[in-house]
Chain A
């Protein structure tokens, strides 16, 4: 059974710092991996989706990488801002692409201090 781990559970950084959030998964036979942001009491907002054949995806200050063989993905946030404070979750979809095979990590709570 796929397991997705996000460490650390919480992270606090000063404004302007570049940072990396980690996501690891136990079964490398994946279809794709998606990163989300969640603000307190709100739904999840999709940030980036990486297909299993891709190595990275970029959107603005965000860059997500995928290393299937090692079971790892990272979300790089450049020049962090207080508005980036939120919980970041990754979700892995299994190789069949089935919705049943979507597994979420428990998230990293990021605080960017002004």
Chain B
């Protein structure tokens, strides 16, 4: 089975800190995604990547950046964390354009 691993289940950060969320998949998938999930708003796509060093903005990229230096790893960076970035962050991967596999999520709290 595909394994998508997110580095932290829970994270607490201060406003203004730079935050790194890491995601690793073990199935050689080309596509990797970062979503955030908020009550009442559902899942919203932040960024996705369809190859190493390739990235594309999703619906809500403001305040975020990403890095994909290796095929198996996709990092989400909050340049200067703000309280409105408190959320559940979900990483996913897929082989184009098939099943999406998700990690277990990172609950980020920004104080």
Minimal beta-carbon separation of B108 from chain A (angstroms): 13
Q: SS class of chain A's interface: helix, strand, loop or mixed?
A: strand
Q: Assuming the A-B contacts A100-B56, A102-B45, A107-B42, are A46 and B99 also in contact, with contact meaning beta carbons closer than 8 angstroms in the complex? A: yes
Minimal beta-carbon separation of B78 from chain A (angstroms): 19
With most chain B CB atoms within 10 A of its CB, the pick from A32, A45, A100 is: A100
The answer on a CB contact under 8 Å between A93 and B90 is no
With most chain B CB atoms within 10 A of its CB, the pick from A31, A102, A106 is: A102
Complex: how many Å from CA A49 to CA B105? Answer: 21
The answer on a CB contact under 8 Å between B103 and A102 is no
The yes or no answer to A16 lying at the interface (CB within 8 A) is no
The yes or no answer to B50 lying at the interface (CB within 8 A) is yes
The yes or no answer to A60 lying at the interface (CB within 8 A) is no
**How many A residues touch B, CB cutoff 8 Å?**
23
Instruction: Mark each residue of chain A from 32 to 65: 1 if its CB lies under 8 Å from any CB of chain B, else 0.
Output: 1010100001111110010000000000000000
The answer on a CB contact under 8 Å between B90 and A99 is no
Chain B residues closer than 8 Å to A100, beta-carbon distance: 45, 48, 56, 58
Interface residues on B, range: 20 to 34
Complex: how many Å from CA A86 to CA B109? Answer: 24
Chain A residues closer than 8 Å to B56, beta-carbon distance: 99-100
Instruction: Mark each residue of chain A from 71 to 114: 1 if its CB lies under 8 Å from any CB of chain B, else 0.
Output: 00000000000000000010101000111101011110000000
Q: Which one of A43, A99, A105, A107 lies within 8 Å of B48 (CB-CB)?
A: A99
The answer on a CB contact under 8 Å between A49 and B98 is yes
Q: Which of B77-94 contact A (CB under 8 A)?
A: 88, 90, 92, 94
Q: Assuming the A-B contacts A31-B97, A102-B100, are A43 and B90 also in contact, with contact meaning beta carbons closer than 8 angstroms in the complex? A: yes
The answer on a CB contact under 8 Å between A99 and B50 is yes
The yes or no answer to B65 lying at the interface (CB within 8 A) is no
Can you list 9 residue pairs at the A/B interface with Cβ under 8 Å?
A41-B107, A43-B4, A43-B103, A46-B100, A49-B99, A97-B96, A99-B96, A100-B45, A106-B42
Report which A residues bind B (CB closer than 8 A): 31-32, 34, 36, 41-46, 49, 89, 91, 93, 97-100, 102, 104-107
